Structure 1
Amino acid sequence: MICQECQQRPATLHFTKIVNGEKTEFHICEVCAQEKGDMFPGGINNFSIHHLLSGLLNNAEPGVNAFKVQQEAPLRCEKCGLTYAQFSKSGRFGCSNCYKAFEEKLDPLFRRVHGNTHHSGKVPERSGGAIKLKKEVDRLKEELRKRIEREEFEEAAKLRDRIRELEQQIAGL
């Protein structure tokens, strides 16, 4: 694909901009992107994953009055002294204790970014056996809970029976 600006060099940067539901795509080369840096907030060379995280942190609590937040005592890590404001600007923790110190602010962020606040991980293919069965039991228990909430008792009974089978298999290993 050729750059939309200069029509000479290959387009290496591809951007999608959505404003009021209207989608606009840009396909430009690096030279034109640097020249048009004002077109892309922060410029091309200034972008980093830390800026992305910082942007998410600043929008983590919609509807909160900025003046009100500044009036509260700054949230600070007891171990390294890093404040939440410093973290939200840099996107980096000062130490491992920062996770606990900023937990109340991080949970909504993690939920929004990852869909959950609990990391369940993956099971390697070759480890097999009991680990996979336990994960399947956990998944089925969650599905069982949802079926009971929706009063789908026949399906819930099938899930219950399947969970019992898997638990017996785990006990036999």
Structure 2
Amino acid sequence: MICQECGQKPATLHFTKIVNGEKTEFRLCESCAGEKGDMFAGASPNFSIHHLLSGLLKFDAAPSVTGSDPPPAETVARCETCGLTYAQFSKSGRFGCVDCYQQFAQRLGPIFRRIHGNMQHSGKVPRRAGGVIRIRKEINDLKRQLQQSIESEEFEQAAAIRDQIKDLEKQLASP
């Protein structure tokens, strides 16, 4: 897809803006998106997708005030292995090493919840190779539904779910 602004470069940014129920879509190349910085929160002349995402996801928990003194060194979150600060991570959107996940864990939890809706990754099971895995996952999902049905005293629905679980467990037992 070609950039709507310049009509020359490929569009690398698809941005949907909704104001008062009116939806407007933009498809721009990186340079045109940088020039239209006033349209996008956090965009600057050095525009990049990482800057856009960090602005949209509000990586920086504490608002920064321009012209204020930097925080004392002991309060700056820094990875002990690679020396990356949280501020550097929020600008680039990338970690410096594996240990950064552990070092910034408290700040990452709310971000992951906002992005994924959950802290636990459930993943996907391949259709071809994951027959047994898929059945086990379905059984676990049904067990959660069964527990919810019992807690909400929907016993007829719980009995139906119990029967589905038994059928799936029979499929696992048979070769």
TM-score (normalizing by structure 2): 0.69
Partner SS state of residue 145, structure 2:
helix
Deviation, structure 1 residue 129: 2.5
Return the letter of the residue paired with 1:142: R
- 2:82 equivalent in structure 1: 80
User: Contact between 2:135 and 2:168, CA under 8 Å: does it hold in 1?
Assistant: yes
User: Which 10-residue stretch deviates more, 85-94 or 75-84?
Assistant: 75-84
Unpaired runs of 5+ residues, structure 1, are none
In structure 2, distance between residues paired with 1:114 and 1:139: 18
- 2:53 equivalent in structure 1: 53
Return the letter of the residue paired with 1:145: Q
Whether 1:25 aligns to 2:27 is no
- Same amino acid, percent of matched pairs: 50
Q: CA RMSD in A?
A: 3.7
Deviation, structure 1 residue 84: 1.7
Return the letter of the residue paired with 1:118: Q
Unpaired runs of 5+ residues, structure 2, are 66-70
Deviation, structure 1 residue 17: 2.7
Change in Cα spacing, 1:60 to 1:83, as seen in structure 2 (3 Å) is: closer
- 2:100 equivalent in structure 1: 98
Q: What per-residue deviation string (whole Å, max 9, x for no partner) do you get for residues 34-80 of structure 1?
A: 796254232697231x123312453675xx7768xx57822222222
Change in Cα spacing, 1:168 to 1:74, as seen in structure 2 (3 Å) is: farther
In structure 1, distance between residues paired with 2:165 and 2:53: 39
Whether 1:138 aligns to 2:140 is yes
Aligned length: 163
